[in-house]
Amino acid sequence: MPPLRLGVHPVAGGLQIAVCAPNASALEFCVFDSDAPHAGETRYQLHRSQGGVFSGQIFGLGIGTVYGLRAYGPWDPENGHVFNPQKLLLDPYARGVTGKIELVPQIHGHETDADMYPVYPLRPDTADSAPHTVRAVVTNTPFAVAGRPQIPWNETVIYEAHVRGLTENFEDVPGSLRGTYAGVAHPATVEYIKSLGITTLELLPIHAKFDEAFLLERGLTNYWGYSTLGFFAPEPSLATAHARRAGPQAVLDEVRGMVSILHQAGIEVILDVVYNHTCEGGVVGQYLSLRGLDSREYYMHVPGDPGKFYDVTGCGNSLDFSRPRVRQLALDSLRYWAGEVGVDGFRFDLAVTLGRFHQDFSPTHPMLDAIATDPLLANLKIIAEPWDIGENGWQTGGFARPFSTWNDRYRDSVRAFWVSDARAQFNRSNRGNNPQQLATRLSGSVDLYGRSDASQNQGTRASINFVTAHDGFTLADLVSYNDKHNEDNLEENRDGTNNNLSWNHGYEGWLTPTDPDFACLPGADDILSERTKTMRNIFGTLLVSAGIPMIVAGDEFGRTQNGNNNAYCQDNETSWLDWNLAPWQRHLQDTVRYLLQLRKAHPVMRPQGFAKGLPTRGDTLADLSWYDRKGHPLSGRTWVEPVNRALQMLRSGKPSGDQDLLVVINGTSESVLMKLASGRHSRWELTWDSTWENPTEARKETVTQPQKGPTNGQEAILAPFSLRFYLATPIS
């Protein structure tokens, strides 16, 4: 007999049910008359079969059935068994969720006091949780999603966005659609994403969630959504009011419709997914799904002490991927979102947890190998956040094919070179770091991702290059604040990282000419000018670096979070994009659009393989070479000298059938005369300068005064802290 499909599936005449709970003694399938809190309930006893799976088939039920689960078994907290049939549980495979979880004592499996703290010794709570929690709803997929755009990796530009934050304030989107899945798919949103030059939209978590108790007590929510309740159901609160009223099937249809419309526009959709932990908290958290179903089976426990969770996520619990059923749950979820919802890839939050045997991480862990060998998943865009907070938790570059990983070394190196080092020079504390780290990151981070085994060498696409992400300062705040300002999170500014590598350029806080204090601040125009130039430097670096660039929504026009570098609980104007742009913001937006067009047009800006510093076959120019301000090659000791923060990177365009590219960098506080590196029998034509406020107007000026002469005789004066791109043009 083949293994049963886990979950609840419509079959001829009824529903087929299969739920995994190996340590339970009995399991009930509970059908409700409606989604009302006190709706009538009918219970069906499921049969225990092989492998700890409880199953059954009920005739007369189908799409739209509202249901939950109740698990029976021992109450033995010290050994990790905490069964309580008074608690209604969400099916881990539920495709749709209805209702609301109330933060009340009844949603705990153990007795609590008036403040919902556990009463010791732990005893089972006898109150029914059904009126106070969510229920599952059976759904289907009635229409086909448009085919995948299948953007090649070396053409990919990722745009990280939140479903609500992207369009909540977007006036070009109708009010009823703003902040929803449908709003993301609206023609105005799609046109903006396309016009910017984005190929791939990465959405912050859209799995059904439950906000942490400490946030609810403070009147806040988990806006980012890293608090998963169900791995198959979409989060209802991000759907339109119309879809929410119509029910979970309409919510799912809206999500699938969004994916389909984006595909038709040639835009990929990647989901940020959280399989490392759930919303149920620590050992005395809420009983919502996995904890009540079989806590010992699903969660990681301290070796030799099954009554305690082994937490490597900082969220109270961690799923145990050494267990086959946990791997199956995650893999089935991934296949569902990829196969039936149609998404194009996944970014795994705290992905090291997925490859753990408690203390030890392995890139060949069964879970990671399963993704790598799955016929559907292995061909998608698979991205890891390569760390968690457990032992051996930093694994940037430590994942194997097909994983690309977020490159935090890239983030820190670029921030240091353009921001914190500039701050040090401004304050005359030191000359800043040498250029070696920046050069390594521009080249694709071969130190992290290079593999001697050709079968595992993915080239530069292994590195997801980013300078900002949802977690941390926005780009504008990175150049506007020396310190985080997270007071609105109500944690006394203790949350969020202190290692921001930021600089306020002389004034702490957001600054725009429309601010009342702008006219009264001495040098305000200069401060704003230097900030925007630094942002352009960062964008230029990002988009000429080998690897896959990721841009955070709104950074392209300098959005602010008012210094909050951990806005996970700010479902308000702090996090929502403000589309009312000042002139300088539109100029920055034009710059990003121009750079993305340039990157698309010139493969030399996005090399796929690691350079060797030697000519490729049939070429006379090295694939990659580096020079100092005098046009002399950089090598050996010269790399570690801060004076060489004024340097040049020359990439041969011949391997990609393109023009040669010269990137000239001045990372010092003084203007520098640069003798441009010698290339072929051609001249260097200035293509972009980070001192240009708007590239369109600057290009018009450049075209009227083309540079003369061969590359071995050209010179240029670079402004302090600035960046230029040159392309080789044959001498006529």
Transcribe 366-391 into DSSP letters.
HHHHHHHH-TTGGGSEEEE--B-SST
DSSP string of 158-182? Answer: EEEE-HHHHHTT-TTS-GGGTTSHH
Report helix, strand or coil for 203. Answer: strand
> Among candidates 371, 144, 347, which has minimal Cα distance to 253?
144
pLDDT of residue 706: 42
| pLDDT tops 70 at residue 44 | yes
| pLDDT tops 90 at residue 252 | yes
1 vs 172: CA distance, rounded Å: 55
Q: Is the pTM of this model over 0.85?
A: yes
69 vs 536: CA distance, rounded Å: 54
CB-based contact 534:418 (threshold 8 Å): yes
| pLDDT tops 90 at residue 391 | yes
Report helix, strand or coil for 708. Answer: coil
pLDDT of residue 551: 98
pLDDT of residue 705: 40
3-state secondary structure 141-161: CCCCCCCCCCCCHHHCCEEEE
356 vs 368: CA distance, rounded Å: 10
pLDDT of residue 332: 98
Residues 6+ apart with CB under 8 A from 512: 518, 528, 582, 584, 585
Residue 397 neighbours by CB distance under 10 Å: 18
Tell me if the bond preceding 121 is cis, omega within 30° of 0.
yes
| pLDDT tops 60 at residue 303 | yes
Burial class (CB in 10 A: 0-12, 13-18, 19+), 50: exposed
Crossing angle of the two packed helices 583-601 and 695-704, in degrees rounded to 10: 60
pLDDT in tens, 658-708: 999 999 999 999 999 999 999 887 899 999 999 999 998 776 555 444 455
What Rg, from alpha-carbon coordinates, does the chain have?
Answer: 28
pLDDT of residue 708: 55
Q: How confident is the model over 244-264, as a mean pLDDT? A: 98
Handedness of CA 397, 399, 401, 403 (dihedral sign): negative
Provide the mean pLDDT of the chain. 95
| pLDDT tops 80 at residue 731 | no
Would you state the structure tokens that stand for residue 328, as one six-digit string? 């199956």
CB-based contact 204:238 (threshold 8 Å): no
Return the active site residues.
349, 385
pLDDT of residue 711: 64
Burial class (CB in 10 A: 0-12, 13-18, 19+), 383: buried
pLDDT of residue 139: 98
The end-to-end CA distance of the chain, in Å, is 76
CB-based contact 137:8 (threshold 8 Å): no
| Alpha helices, DSSP H, located in 561-669 | 583-601
pLDDT of residue 512: 81
> Among candidates 543, 589, 530, which has minimal Cα distance to 721?
530
pLDDT in tens, 494-536: 999 999 999 999 999 988 887 777 877 888 999 999 999 999 9
Q: Which helix (H) or strand (E) holds 13?
A: none
| pLDDT tops 80 at residue 1 | no
92 vs 69: CA distance, rounded Å: 10
Residues 6+ apart with CB under 8 A from 162: 203, 204, 223, 224, 470, 553, 575
Residue with tokens 């862990």: 365
pLDDT in tens, 318-349: 999 999 999 999 999 999 999 999 999 999 99
pLDDT of residue 699: 67
Backbone angles phi, psi at 655, to 5 degrees: -60, -25
Across 185-207, b (16+ Cβ under 10 Å) vs e yields: bbeebbebbeebbbbbbbbbbbb
Task: List the single range of 1-10, 274-283, 360-369 with lowest mean pLDDT.
Answer: 1-10
Would you state the structure tokens that stand for residue 660, as one six-digit string? 């040669």
Provide the strand spans (E) within 396-536: 404-406, 463-465
> Among candidates 284, 320, 280, which has minimal Cα distance to 300?
320
Residue with tokens 């978590």: 205
pLDDT of residue 704: 41
Q: How confident is the model over 603-630, as a mean pLDDT? A: 96
β partners of residue 179: none
| pLDDT tops 70 at residue 654 | yes
Q: How confident is the model over 258-271, as a mean pLDDT? A: 98
For 264, half-sphere exposure in the C-beta direction (CA atoms, 13 angstrom radius) is 13
pLDDT > 90 fraction of the chain, expressed in percent and rounded: 90
pLDDT in tens, 128-154: 999 999 999 999 999 999 999 999 999
β partners of residue 10: 15
pLDDT in tens, 117-131: 999 999 999 999 999
pLDDT of residue 702: 53
Count how many residues are written for the chain.
732
Residues 6+ apart with CB under 8 A from 334: 273, 346, 371, 374, 377
